[in-house]
Each structure stands twice: as C-alpha cells, then as structure tokens.
Structure 1
Amino acid sequence: MKKYTFIALIFLNAFCGYGQEKKLKSADKNYDQYAYVDAIKTYERLADKGYKSEDLFKKLGDSYYFNSDYENAAKWYGELFTMNPSPEAEYYYRYAQSLKSKGETDKADKILAEFNSLYKNDSRGKLYRQNGNYLDQIKANSGRYQIEDAGINSKYSDYGSFVYDNKIYFASARDTGNFTKRIHKWTGEYFTNIYNAAIDSQNGTASKVNKFKPLNSKFNESSLVFTKDGNTVYFTRNNFLNGKKGKNESDATLVKLYRANLVNGKWTNITTLPFTSDDYSTAHPALSSDEKTLYFASDMPGTIGQSDIYKVSINGNSYGTPENLGKEINTEGKETFPYVTSENEIYFASDGHPGLGGLDVFVGQLDSNGVVSNIQNLGSDINSPKDDFAYIIDTATRRGYFSSNRDGGQGSDDIYKFLETRRLKCTQELNGVITDAATGAVLPEAKVTLYENQAIKKSVLSNSEGQYRFDVECGKTYSVRAEKQEYATKEVLVTIGNASGKTSLPIALDKSVCKVTVGDDLGKCFGIKMIYFDLDKSDITAAAALDLAKILDVLSQNPTMKLDIRSYTDSRASREYNKALSDRRAKATISWLVKNGVSKNRLTGKGYGETALVNRCSDGVQCSEEEHQQNRRSEFIITGV
C-alpha cells in the first residue's frame, strides 16, 4: 500500500530503470535503502534457486509487508517460521497480521497467543489477551455504514482526504502527464501530489479532479488540514524546501510537517514546523476543534512503536513541545492518521490494537487533559482484512471519507465515501412524566435531576405537560430525583438498555405528609437515618451529599428554620473515641451546609457518640450488624421555624 511512504515515515528518491543485480549484497543494499520493489525481485530469484536463510525470508516478508501485500508477506514469514519457530517478537506480530489479512484468523490468533506468552511486556499482546472476544466486539460495531466509491480514484494510489469549502483534498500517485516519470522504488508508483475536486455538500458526489499546484513539489506531498478561516494549511511533504533536500545520517530523506499561509489569494510562506527534524519523520496533521492543538504521527525520540500519535500546542505562530499521547493509544506497532472531531473523539489507524488485519480504524474519547480512553474498533464496514486508514467525518451530517486498499478497488489505495447510519456511541433518550400519585394530575415545573455515581449530570424542569427528558448512555445506571414544593422528594434508580432507543421512567410524587415543627427530626421526612461517612473518617462523601442536598433544599425554602445536628455511633470502640468521631462528623455536616449557602447562625450540633443507644447493643452485648446500624444515626432536630 502506497501510503506506507508516510506510515513507515521514510522516503527514498528514485527514478525509472531498475537494476538487475543478482547478488545478495545488491539485494541487501536495495532493502537497506527502502527500494523494496527491486529487493523483492532479487531476493525471489535467489529463493527460486534454492538459497535459504532467516535474513532472506525476513527481508522478503518485510518487503511485501511494508507494501501491504500481506498474502506474499505471509508466504515468506511462513518460510521464516519453518526455519526458526522462535524469531524476534516483531515477526510473530507481522506474521499474525498477514495471516489475518488472508482470512486465516484462527492461525493468526494462535501465533498471537504464542507472541503474548513469549513477550509479555508487549502491549499488543496484552491488548489481544484483554480483548479475547475482539471479533465479537467488531461484529457488534459493524453494520453501521453505507459505503461507496468516492468517485475520485485512479488506478494508482489515492488516499488521505480532507474536506474544506465543499472541496475534497487528497494525495494521489496518478500519472501527472509529464515526460519525465518519477518512480518511487519503495512502491513502484509515481510520487504523490495533492489534488482536489468539488463535491456536493449533500451527498459527497465529486466532480472533476484537479491538481492543487500551490503545495506540490517534485517529491511527495500528502495529508493536509486547513484552519477554519482557510488562511493556513498544514501538510506532509518530503524533506524538501526551496530546492534543497534534507537527509539524515543514513542519507535518507524523511517526511516533515509544513505550514503555508494564504496571502492575497496566493499560498506562500511555506515553512517546516519548528519541532520537525532531518533525523525523524512527522506526518498526517489534524487540528482540534478550537485549533489550539495539532495532532500528528511521528517516529521521533520517545516513540513507543514504529510510529506514534503526538500532540503539540499552537500559540499563534509558535508551538509548544510535542507530547506523546501515551500507551492508552500508542503501541509497539503503528498508530497514524489521527483525526479529531468537535465531540472530542480521536479517530486513528493502527495495526497494534486488535483488528481484522493490516491497519484498522479506531476511535477513542479525549478528555480535557488529552488522555484517550474507550478505544473501539469501528467494525467490519470501515475495516477489512487489508489496510484501512485516514478516516474523517462531519459530526453534523455523519458523512465522511476513508482510505483503503481492500479488494475490489480501482488502485492500490482508494478513497471511499460513507454515511454513518448508527452511532457507535450508544445513546438513549430517558424520558418520563411527573404526576401526583393520588390524582394522576401532571406536575409542571417539577425539578428533575439526573445523577451518575452520585454526581449531578443535569437538572431540568418538567414542561407544562409534566414531561422531562435526558440524553443518556446505554448500559449505565442512573438515579433520577424529582422534587416539587408540597410534595415528598423521590429518587428512582434506572438502568439503561444496551441498544439505542428510549427508556421511559414516569415518577409519581406523594403529597408531603411530613408537617414538621420545633422538636421534630427533619431527617425522618426524607427517610434519612444516617449521613454515611467512610470508615473511621469524617469527610462528606458523594453519597452523603445526596441526602444533605435534601436538607439543604428545605432550609432554602424555609429561611427562618433552624436545626440542631446530632451524630451518634454504635458502641464498638471506646466511649472517648466514639464521642470525638461523632463530634467531627456533626461539625463536617454543618460545614457542608454552610459552604452551600446556609447561614451558620441557623445551625448547631455536636456528636454524642454511644451515649444514646436506641437498643440493647451496649458494650459486651452480642448484636447483629443490623442492630448496631440502628445506633449509627444522624438527627436533624428543628429548633426554630
């Protein structure tokens, strides 16, 4: 697959006319210089004549693997394993990936199991062990797309699309029509340039393809991203600027990220980004929604695998220090072609996470600190046994594009357009009606609050018909609290199903029958028997805060009410210790209420330890846990109204 020019992140300048060297030394030289097309020819001639060696089989397998010819890669890796059943770790993984691409999943999984047992610290093996049912997960994530040819493909490699201003931009190795044909010896195809085509904003249908000349050079360009205002573009190019070609110590020209500016209608000021280098590659730029962060792929120092995904902050025309996104997303394999959406999802291609073979497309969730979680394979619509990558999506229309060298395409890589018909992130609508339990009358303007793990997710007021609704995630358990003046507050637990749809949760409220006066325990109105604390601690927990919020609400609605807060323990500790602990807890309760807006002069309280037991469970008496719990209680005694 021709995108390996930018996935393996390496480049070699080459022209037509292949040498016919037959000696192994010449083949090794071609291999070392990434001229895989020539290396294959020579190595196979040697193999046909009966020459065998581990090194030969490794290099033949790799030459095909790096060009995404997995069938032939599997053939030569098979010869390697016949000669040496225990080669280095990377060959276990490449052989398994090649077998999966051929459809030999069972054999591939067996190789991966051996790989994991021998190389326990390799994250790829760990991921397969932790996701033993990965094929079931992929199946569950499939059937969500309508996919078509994008209408811009040629018989050559076409890949890496980006849409801006109703045009699709992409890289292509198609014949440019020049008299001099520049051939890349890694792939055997022409060098890539950037092209574009106008597209229909409704269905993605493309018109005539044109070369995007302002950014193209005589070497490779690919994968670009525009800023929203269209005045800046980031793109990938071989290390070539102002007619000069940069090289590393091995005399190889790598790839770099470049930036250009639109000035008076012309693209100018083409410069390399300051964190690039002649000694490592940077490629495939993607911007965060706020355009303050640039994501990219690189094999720079600190890379975990063959290529990792990085991010760097953008501060006007300056940039921060690149940061590796970490082991949550990056493996010892290849992670590349990032794309970040306005919903803080990061799509990327990887051969290190469990997939169908070759590169698969995955999606993860980015938190506010840039940490990636909940990584999932997109399923067998987007992914295939071959290489699938460069996925982009419009989050509003759910339309987008991706690249693949799957069977049935026009060239070695092709661009496909898609419509996502079902979100991978399973969501539901949680709705219901708030009513009077006795009469069935709807209750408008009831406060309805959604909690997850004791944390407030959202609060709404029921509408004129008593209705409320929340967007929730499938498979999660929530608590819904309904409150209305003159009614007793009610909380209901609900577990959302595992499929998209709706869950109905009607809530009927009882009229408040708790008429309190001085001397009454306000906590009894809400069934609050105790404010829970962690063992041996006096900090207010999230669970305790839920009950205290009920007390807070009553105090807010009754601004002259005063409370005496009393905390009690059971007898299982010394009297002195229990007295001190209960006193700290009473004071912590008062502090929480004051912090949340209650005037301190409305509250008193202290701890009474085990001095007012409600049953027989004093020191030395054998009691059940339930009996002891009756003594561990909190009281909210009304001292003024």
Structure 2
Amino acid sequence: MKHFTHTSISLLLLLITMATLLGCGADKNLKKGEKYLAIGEYYDAATQFKQAYTKTSTKEKAKRGDIALKIAYCNERINSTQKAQAAYANAIRYGRATAADRLSYARQLLRNGSYKQAGEQFAIVLDSINAGDYPTPTKKGNTNTLDANTAKTLAQNGLIAAQKAPEWKKQGSRYKVKRMDVFNSRRDDYSPVLAGDQYETLYFTSTRNDAQGNELSGITGAKPADIFMSEKDDKGNWSKPEAVTGGLNTDYDEGACALSPDQHTMYLTQCTSDPSYPRYAQIVTSARANAAWGKPSELKITGDTLSSYAHPAVSPDGMWLYFVSDMPGGMGGMDIWRARITPAGLGGVENLGAPINTPGNEMFPTFRPNGDLYFSSDGHPGMGGLDIFIASVGKDGKYHLEHPGYPLNSQGDDFGMTFEGVHNRGFFSSSRNDGRGWDHIYSFENPEIIQSVKGWVYEQDGYELPSALVYLVGSDGTNEKLSVKGDGSFEKVLKPGTDYIFLATCKGFLNHKEELSIGHPDDSNEHVLQFPLASITAPVLIDNIFYDFDKATLRPESQASLDELVKLLNENPNVTIELSSHCDYKGSAEYNKLLSQRRAESVVEYLSNKGISRDRLSPVGYGKEKPKTIRKKLTEKYNWLKENDVLTEEFIKKLDKDKQDICNQLNRRTEFIVLRTTYGMFDKDGNLKKSNNETTKKSSSSNENGKKNEDFDFYVE
C-alpha cells in the first residue's frame, strides 16, 4: 500500500476541489447559455457556452462534444462561420456529431470556401441518409431539426455546389464588383436601397457605434441595427452616412428596408427585445412627411404571432408586398411569401413555392424595375452561404432561375440588391473576406446592352407634373400604365425590334404623344423623350413664331412650332382653341389690333392647310390690350420679374432700357387657350356619340419604310 505525505494529500484535495468548482462553474454557464438561447440571444449564449467548454475537463469528452455543438449552433446563427466550423470539428472529434450536425458542418465549410472538405462531408451525410442512419428531428432550438428528405435535398445541392463552385469562380462573369468603403464601418452594413428621383440617396442598415441605444445586442454582440443614409452630391460623391432622424430608428433592431414606388412609405424589419421571451421579427411601416420619416407602426400580415416576418420588398407596380417568413405552410427554413396591397390593407398571403423556395433559406427579395425578382438562398446550389439568384417570368408564366455567378456571388453571404433605375448597376451587401462575418456594402455593374427610355412630363411653359400618367403601347403587345416620379420623369426598359407609342396625360392638361422605334443596336442607349403638356385653363405660348417686319406673313422658321401645334390638335381631336396674337405698346392701338388680328388669321390659315378644321380655330388679335402676366417659371430666367407681374406700359417704362426691350419682346407673342374639350362628341340632338370602343384611344405608328403598323390601343381608366 502506497503512503501519501501531508503535502501530496493537500494538493490532491485542492485539485479535486478545483475540478468540482470548475464543473459547477461550467454548469452555471450552461444554464445561462440555455436561457439566452431560448430567447434568441445567440451571441450571449455562445459566450456562456464557450466558458462552459473551457471549464469542462478534456476527459469529459461527451460533455465537451455536446457543448461544442451548442457553440457551433449559436455561431452559425450569427454568421460567425469560422467559429462555427471549429466548434463542429470539435464535436466530430469528440464523437458527438450526428449526420445532421455533419450537414451543418459541411454547409459552414462551403461558406468558408473549403470546397473539397465540404464535398467530403456532404458525401458522408448522403451515405448516412441512404443507410437509414439519419436522426429523427428533435424540438426546435437544437441543431437537428431537419427530416431525412429535407436533409437529403440540402446535402445533394451542397455536394453540387462544392463540385461546381471552383469552376464558377474560375469562369467569372461580366459583373464588376467593388467594396464601397465610404458606406462601411467595422460592424455590419447591409441591405442598401437607392432612393430619390435621380438615385441620389442610399438607405442601408448598420450596427455601427453611431446606432441608437447604449446596450449591445445579445443576438449579435453589436449595437442594435438602425437605418442610415448617405447622399450623393452633384459631382457624384457620397456623403458620410448618418442615422435617419425623425423617429424611424429606435433602441430596437431596425433593418432591411424597402420603399413604395412613390417613395412615400418605407417598409422595414423590426426586432423588439424581451428579457424572457423569444424575439420574432416583424414588418413595420413609416410614412414620410416634409422629407422626414415618422415613427414606425406595425404592419399586420397574418394572425400568427409565433413566426417571423422580415425583409420586405414591393413589386414595381406597387401591387404586392414580398417578404420572408418561417410560418407554417412553407417549404422549410425561411421562405419568400407575398401579399396583395389594397387600400384596406394586405390581402391574401401566398407562398411563392418552387422553384424559388427550397428546404433551405430564401431571403432578401428585391426587384429590378423590369420585374425580375432577385433573392438570396442557401438552399439552391451556390458558392457558399447566401447566393444571389435571379427569377424572371418566362412566356409560360412560370419563374425561371439564373445564378449570376462570380464575382457577384462568393463563398460568403451575398444579398440585398438595389438598382440604379433600369440599369444593371447599383449596390449589394456581402460578408466575403471578413473573418468575423460582418457584412459590408459593395457596388456592382453588369455592362449589358440595354435599350431604355427616359421621359419628362411637364407644363408646356412651367414645371414638372408628378401627377401625370404615361400610357405605353408597343407592337409586341405591350400595354402599360407608367407612373411619373416627383421630378416628372419616368424610365422603362424597351425591347429591341419594337415600335412604341407613349401618351402622357394629366388632369387639367391636353394629352401629348410621342413615338419611338427600337432597332437592334450593338450598344446600350437611353432614349430621351419630352412631354410638354398644354394647360386647359391658362394661356399657352406658341414659342418661336416669327413674322416679316410689320406684316402678317409667317416666316419659314415658324414652321417647326406650328407643326407641333398641328400634332397637338390631332392628338386632342375634341379640343377647340382661341389663337391670339399680341403686340407691344408701341404704335397706335388700332393699328396694333389690326396687325395682330391678321397675324392670328395667318396661323389659322397654316393650321387649316395642315388639315385642322377651321371651326376648331378662333383667331383673335388683341394688339396691346392683354399684356403678358408673368408665371413663376419665367422668374427663374428673369429674376428681376416676379410671379403675377403684368407687363403693362406703365410697368415697363419704370425699368432700365435693356429690361424694357425684354418685356416688349415678351408681350409680342402668339398664344392659344382651350375653349372647349367636347368638340365632335355630340350629335345634332345633343346626345353623346357612340364610339366603337369607349374605353380606348386609337393611334397608329409608321415604321422606317413608311408602312403603317397595326393600331395600338390605349386603355385609359
């Protein structure tokens, strides 16, 4: 029998005591970790589990392996890929990893770009499933939550990704990607959204230190996310990002925002906190008033309060809200859903189904103005993490998917696209090349050949008309109604080999039509169209009308303006107008009146010779009886004039000589005002005439050979 000295016995007791204390400490950390995990605070949970792992003896392999799985799961949820990967490797080393855990490990390897190792692990998972050794799913909150069929689909797609990703990276694509440090911080910066009539504002989500609130999030270990914005100046330089003011941001998490087509409503994700209850993301809305975003209010999508609703996106026509949710009825993980937007609220909710959704996670939907849906997925074969996919609707009415390849996609998370109008350029977010898993904002551009139109609708001698509508018809069957932005502009991608007609309309103004024929060019081209609308209630200047000196004879250079008036009258066949000619105060009143009358009649004669019925035209010579009244737009050119100034003889003679000459020139003008808008609409008995189609307006266009195309119908509501 071996004898122990007093010192050795004391040392042994000390070691036993320390082991006991460490074991107790580990259990205490485990308990805290489970509490944090239950309410979704993955960062805090991972911290506690890591401490428990450190305090657990290496001889307790099973316990260390089980704790490692918890560490892996928590880090996986917060995109800390390298830590999750290392923890899964420890669990496998200690013999505690199931096939389901290996599947998660393989997906982490894929996110890290370790394609060969990932392929080996996916193969092991598939062998286990085929042998019937895949575990039965356990309750939510643990890692093993997938059934065998779901796991098999994910493993098969993962194996395809591991095999193809190196080749995709080698092949590359036409995309050009650049990290935008002007927007980025040392924390998460993601989900950019371009806004403004000229895309001069960028909203995005950030957990940087400037975010609101004083506490760090137990979910991510960073500040709760806020919405930030940056603005571009006239030279194309972006400003330092600042948090959006006006009540939009709170001490909670706000992020992944989207705008309605009129940019008056913001949809965004919000996660509130509760110390004893799981957090479920919800979608809230904020209204913009006086250039400021108001306090968010909850948007009720369904009555389900135990599911998350996040990542809103509005379809280009403003009719559908797309979002992400894990509610029952999906295909697994997070799915993309949509709900119809109505004046009374959201309509029925529907899952987009296959081929978009998979047993994995489909997230961050967004739209390109042409209607293509962009989203991110870790369920489809990709390069690792979330990959961006493009879903376009084919002639069969079904979605068809495209993987845009590298470098738009990488082994990290790639998501949150935003487009600069119709062009295939803009910004997105990615966690590539960041060992801590933080997301950052990148620019992208794909120099594809695009034919597009940009139009401007405005008062003929005034400002833009944001309330206007533009009806578009094409020889390919296109028939659409386009909304106009705040600056009176609109944009649309056009199809090569197609003839188009555009009809601009606005209440209180005459219609204006433009035609455009698109060939098959080799380069991108943006066609610019102008739509100056003539007022129904105010006099409209006919610019660039010239007469021989002291005569009523029209000069040849007047033809272009008069031909535009002919076009306008043909586009508005139910309108009659008064054509008026005006002179300055020089000369006798009687002589000026006679001269102006003859000049007005000369214009009528020209219009009549061009096919406009004389009974639609009333020539009047006012001489100097009606001096010009200044409208606001003209004060921008002549800042010494004020709106509603009347250029009377008395007013003009108080001015300097140069200014007198300008005012006299402004008074010498030819104008028209609309008298009636019902010409030819009634029969001799005063009854409204019946047309073949009372809801359409017919127009026709000519191609380059002068041949008439078939009539296009404008369906005007």
TM-score (norm 1): 0.57
Q: Deviations over 1:58-101 (max 9, x none)?
A: 21111221122212211111222334486153x23321121123
8 Å CA contact 1:175–1:190 kept in 2: the answer is yes
Match of 1:282 in 2: 309
CA–CA distance in 2 between the matches of 1:274 and 1:59? 34
Residue 169 of structure 1: how far off its partner (Å): 0.4
8 Å CA contact 1:253–1:278 kept in 2: the answer is no
Match of 1:418 in 2: 444
Q: Does 1:402 align with 2:428?
A: yes
Match of 2:299 in 1: 273
**Mapping 1:70-109, distance limit 5 Å:** 70-84=81-95, 87-89=98-100, 91-109=101-119
Aligned in 2, Cα 1:469/1:265: closer, same or farther, shift over 3 Å? closer
Q: Does 1:32 align with 2:65?
A: no
CA–CA distance in 2 between the matches of 1:88 and 1:160? 34
Q: Deviations over 1:565-596 (max 9, x none)?
A: xxxxxxxxxxxxxxxxxxxxxxxxxxxxxxxx
Q: Does 1:383 align with 2:409?
A: yes
Match of 1:318 in 2: 345
Match of 2:326 in 1: 299
Q: Aligned pairs, how many?
A: 408
Q: Quick one: which amino acid aligns to residue 174 of structure 1?
A: R
Q: Which has the larger radius of gyration?
A: 2
CA–CA distance in 2 between the matches of 1:459 and 1:405? 41
CA–CA distance in 1 between the matches of 2:32 and 2:241? 40
Residue 400 of structure 1: how far off its partner (Å): 0.9
8 Å CA contact 1:154–1:410 kept in 2: the answer is no
Q: Deviations over 1:280-319 (max 9, x none)?
A: 1111111111111111111112122221111111123421
Residue 113 of structure 1: how far off its partner (Å): 2.6
Can you give the 5+ residue segments of structure 1 that lack an aligned partner in the other structure?
A: 1-18, 240-244, 426-448, 450-456, 462-467, 473-641
CA–CA distance in 2 between the matches of 1:272 and 1:369? 37
Equivalent of residue 194 in structure 2, options 148, 163, 167: 163
8 Å CA contact 1:146–1:420 kept in 2: the answer is no
Q: Does 1:125 align with 2:125?
A: no
Match of 1:52 in 2: 61
Q: Does 1:224 align with 2:257?
A: yes
CA–CA distance in 2 between the matches of 1:74 and 1:408? 15
Aligned in 2, Cα 1:115/1:320: closer, same or farther, shift over 3 Å? farther
Q: Deviations over 1:339-393 (max 9, x none)?
A: 11222221111111222222222222235897432231x3221222222221222
Q: Quick one: which amino acid aligns to residue 241 of structure 2?
A: V
Root mean square deviation of aligned Cα: 3.6
CA–CA distance in 2 between the matches of 1:458 and 1:417? 28
Match of 1:597 in 2: none
Aligned in 2, Cα 1:305/1:88: closer, same or farther, shift over 3 Å? farther
Equivalent of residue 174 in structure 1, options 177, 183, 208: 208
Aligned in 2, Cα 1:279/1:120: closer, same or farther, shift over 3 Å? closer
Q: Does 1:260 align with 2:268?
A: no
CA–CA distance in 1 between the matches of 2:103 and 2:178? 30
CA–CA distance in 2 between the matches of 1:296 and 1:61? 28
Q: Does 1:206 align with 2:215?
A: no
8 Å CA contact 2:39–2:279 kept in 1: the answer is no
CA–CA distance in 1 between the matches of 2:78 and 2:296? 30
Q: Quick one: which amino acid aligns to residue 312 of structure 1?
A: A
8 Å CA contact 1:357–1:385 kept in 2: the answer is yes
CA–CA distance in 1 between the matches of 2:369 and 2:110? 34
Residue 459 of structure 1: how far off its partner (Å): 8.0
**Mapping 1:323-338, distance limit 5 Å:** 323-338=350-365
Q: Quick one: which amino acid aligns to residue 172 of structure 1?
A: S
Q: Deviations over 1:477-522 (max 9, x none)?
A: xxxxxxxxxxxxxxxxxxxxxxxxxxxxxxxxxxxxxxxxxxxxxx
CA–CA distance in 1 between the matches of 2:257 and 2:96? 43
Aligned in 2, Cα 1:129/1:398: closer, same or farther, shift over 3 Å? same
Q: Quick one: which amino acid aligns to residue 33 of structure 1?
A: I
Match of 1:446 in 2: none
CA–CA distance in 2 between the matches of 1:67 and 1:202? 38
Name the SS of the counterpart of 1:347 in structure 2: strand
CA–CA distance in 2 between the matches of 1:370 and 1:44? 51
Residue 126 of structure 1: how far off its partner (Å): 4.2
Residue 189 of structure 1: how far off its partner (Å): 0.5
Residue 320 of structure 1: how far off its partner (Å): 1.5
8 Å CA contact 2:158–2:381 kept in 1: the answer is yes
Residue 173 of structure 1: how far off its partner (Å): 1.2
Q: Quick one: which amino acid aligns to residue 203 of structure 2?
A: Y
Residue 208 of structure 1: how far off its partner (Å): 2.4
Relative contact order (C-alpha < 8 Å, sep 6+): which is higher? 1
Q: Quick one: which amino acid aligns to residue 87 of structure 1?
A: T
Q: Could you tell which deviates more after superposition, 391-400 or 60-69? A: 391-400
Aligned in 2, Cα 1:222/1:251: closer, same or farther, shift over 3 Å? same
Aligned in 2, Cα 1:151/1:322: closer, same or farther, shift over 3 Å? same
Match of 1:393 in 2: 419
Q: Deviations over 1:211-239 (max 9, x none)?
A: 11231111111111122322222111124
Identity, in percent, stands at 28
Equivalent of residue 63 in structure 1, options 61, 74, 77: 74
Name the SS of the counterpart of 1:285 in structure 2: strand
CA–CA distance in 2 between the matches of 1:144 and 1:151? 21
Name the SS of the counterpart of 1:416 in structure 2: strand
8 Å CA contact 1:96–1:109 kept in 2: the answer is yes
Match of 2:121 in 1: 111
CA–CA distance in 1 between the matches of 2:348 and 2:168? 36
Name the SS of the counterpart of 1:233 in structure 2: strand
TM-score (norm 2): 0.51
Aligned in 2, Cα 1:71/1:208: closer, same or farther, shift over 3 Å? closer
Match of 2:48 in 1: 42
8 Å CA contact 1:197–1:210 kept in 2: the answer is yes
CA–CA distance in 1 between the matches of 2:375 and 2:98? 29
Greater strand share, structure number: 1
CA–CA distance in 2 between the matches of 1:177 and 1:229? 27
Q: Deviations over 1:159-217 (max 9, x none)?
A: 11101111100111122387x622111211011111111025886x4212221123111
Name the SS of the counterpart of 2:49 in structure 1: helix
Name the SS of the counterpart of 1:94 in structure 2: helix
